[in-house]
Amino acid sequence: MSDLEDVLAGFPAPVAARLRRAEVVAAQVPAAAAGRVAFVGVHPVGARFKVARFEVPEERLAFDLTPDLLEDEEEVDVTAGELVAALKRFGIAPEQLRSPMRAGYPV
Amino acid sequence: MKIPPAVYKAARSAVAQLPQEGQGPAILDQRQAASLQASVQKAVPGTSDAVAREALALALAAQQEARGAGLGAFTATRREPIGELPAGQAFSGLTLLIAHKGGADVVGDVRAELEDALGQSVASLRPSDLASAHELVAELNNPALVAELDKVAIGIVREEVASLSALSQDIGAMPRAPDGRATEALNRRYAAEITPRVDALLDYEETSGRSLRQLLVDAPPQASATISASAKRAIASIDKQLKTGGSRGLEAEVATRDDAEMVLAHFATKAHDEGAPLLDTGAMWPRLIKDLVGKDKSFHWDDAFEARGDPPVDVLKGHYWDPERDGGQSRAEYHHATRPHLQMDLGGRLEVRVYMPRPGGLQDPPPFGGSQ
């Protein structure tokens, strides 16, 4: 089994399927300040993953958001083997991830 | 009025007994129709005339398709569940010309078996049926049936996405606040009319393990044989920025729409060759793109303007435009909202915008850096 498959074995099946197909998964997480919402997104790029966390003022969710409208962004570029640790760093577990719409992921 | 699976199955069995000799069309007379109806009612006692007739009409249509007579138009236009067809209308199917081609082929057998398993004709499947249909068929552990359902699902998904795309544009065109913010009315409509349908497609995606995005990607792009100097410069500039890294928002300039098409063909071909083709999301309103297929590995054209503010300024539809914001807008925000562009989302949240000249005849904003 490849490194990626080893890692994905610990993910919910629909999430693993999306990542295997190089599709985004995301989760909503607690924000640092009131009046904001925060998200973590996992973006596969080739054999690597960009894991991003950002916050958005609640009222700004009413826009078609572009990256320049996000706040407090952090992003790490990791291998499959580092993915779970990166998620942990942002305070989430693999089972919290979902398809972007179901997480309300805005970008 | 619902058609119970047992009734539909009985109708399929009755229809299968029809003579198949000859290549020409056959017409069912009233005697044959009455005989078929009696067969169904005998097999499932208590079945009403209307239900039996409706089941027979659907079974005939399914048989016609299974025998290769083609049911494309039927499939494309019928979305009612079996039980919601107007009574009497369906029975007119018994007077249809039935094209007997002589012997069901293997494909037809699989389709018929699939319909038996589902208890309904594939023509009556709706997008919201796909997830449960997949679950039901998967339990039978018959790969041929799963493959047949997958084949049917592609058409249903594509049709549904086309319909959702048109609806999303309609909703997206509703009036907005001057800064581009969606109104409550817009959000309510989106939540009521779009979200449940997207949910159904995502249910199917998660249940089947098939990617909506992959079901929607068309044929591989064709890179231009010749490429203009302007397009060449833009490609070189984007490649250079990609190598430098560090930014998620890359920009390039071209002189014309044709140049931008050449740039698109170049990157779309590259993405296709790397196994992750770019999906054309141009028919979808941005929120639908994010909800349904995600922005990564997609492209669209932003070239439709709308007037906003007082005095009015023509800015790109749906784009963020807030010149009164504290601190002002950034240069990137200003360009993004005011200049037509091709946007390619190359993956990993990397956005590439290829800007074209702003058309003449628009109500222009003050230049960037001026009193916007």
b/e sequence B305-337, b meaning 16+ C-beta within 10 Å: bbebbeeebbbbbbbbbbbeeeeebeeebbbbb
Give which of A25, A68, A79 to mutate to test B binding, by max B Cβ within 10 Å.
Answer: A68
Please tell me which of the candidates A21, A64, A67 has its beta carbon nearest to residue B248.
A67
> With 50 as the cut, is the pLDDT of residue B98 above it?
no
What token pair was written down for B344? 């390619």
* Contact yes or no for A44 and B347 at CB 8 A: yes
Residue B14's closest CA among B60, B45, B51, B54? B60
Which chain A residues touch B333 with a CB distance below 8 Å?
A: 66, 68
- Sequential DSSP letters for B122-137: GGG--GGGHHHHHHHH
> B150 and chain A: CB distance < 8 Å anywhere?
no
Phi-psi region of B193 (alpha: psi -120 to 50; beta: other; left: phi over 0): alpha
Q: How far is CA B18 from CA B88, B99, B219, B313, in A?
A: 22, 12, 41, 68
How high is the mean pLDDT of chain B? 79
Which chain B residues touch A41 with a CB distance below 8 Å?
A: 349
CA dihedral B92, B93, B99, B101 (to 10 degrees): -150
Residue of A nearest to B213 (CA): A23
Question: Which residues have CB under 8 Å from B29's CB, separation 6+?
Answer: none
The enclosing H or E element of B103 equals none
The owner of tokens 């599709």 is: A23
Q: Based on the number of CB atoms within 10 Å of its own CB, is B247 exposed (0-12), middle (13-18) or buried (19 or more)?
A: exposed
> A28 and chain B: CB distance < 8 Å anywhere?
no
CB B261 within 8 A of CB B235: no
Question: Which residues have CB under 8 Å from B217's CB, separation 6+?
Answer: B277, B279
pLDDT in tens, B262-312: 999 999 998 888 878 899 998 888 889 888 888 889 999 999 898 888 888
Q: How far apart are CA A8 and CA A103, in angstroms?
A: 19
Please tell me which of the candidates A44, A75, A102 has its beta carbon nearest to residue B202.
A102
pLDDT in tens, B306-334: 888 888 899 998 777 877 776 777 888 88
* Contact yes or no for B287 and A107 at CB 8 A: no
* Contact yes or no for B320 and A17 at CB 8 A: no
Backbone angles phi, psi at B21, to 5 degrees: -70, 150
Q: How far apart are CA B57 and CA B91, in angstroms?
A: 5
pLDDT in tens, A15-63: 999 898 888 999 999 998 889 999 999 999 888 999 999 998 887 776 6
Give the model's pLDDT for residue B220.
66
Question: Which residues have CB under 8 Å from B313's CB, separation 6+?
Answer: B307, B321, B363, B364, B365
CB B260 within 8 A of CB B268: no
* Contact yes or no for A45 and B291 at CB 8 A: no
Residue A40, CB-side half-sphere exposure with 13 Å CA sphere: 22
The owner of tokens 């007739």 is: B53
Residue of A nearest to B285 (CA): A64
* Contact yes or no for A63 and B320 at CB 8 A: yes
**What pTM was estimated for this model as a whole?**
0.67
> B206 and chain A: CB distance < 8 Å anywhere?
yes
pLDDT in tens, A80-92: 999 999 999 999 9
Structural Rg of chain A based on CA atoms: 14
Give the model's pLDDT for residue A68.
67
Q: How far apart are CA B2 and CA B143, in angstroms?
A: 29
Residue of B nearest to A45 (CA): B348
Residue B124's closest CA among B80, B158, B160, B176? B80
Q: Are strands B97-99 and B341-347 parallel, antiparallel or unpaired?
A: unpaired
Q: How far apart are CA B152 and CA B130, in angstroms?
A: 10
CB A94 within 8 A of CB A12: yes
ipTM confidence:
0.83
What token pair was written down for B205? 């995606």
3-state secondary structure of A17: helix
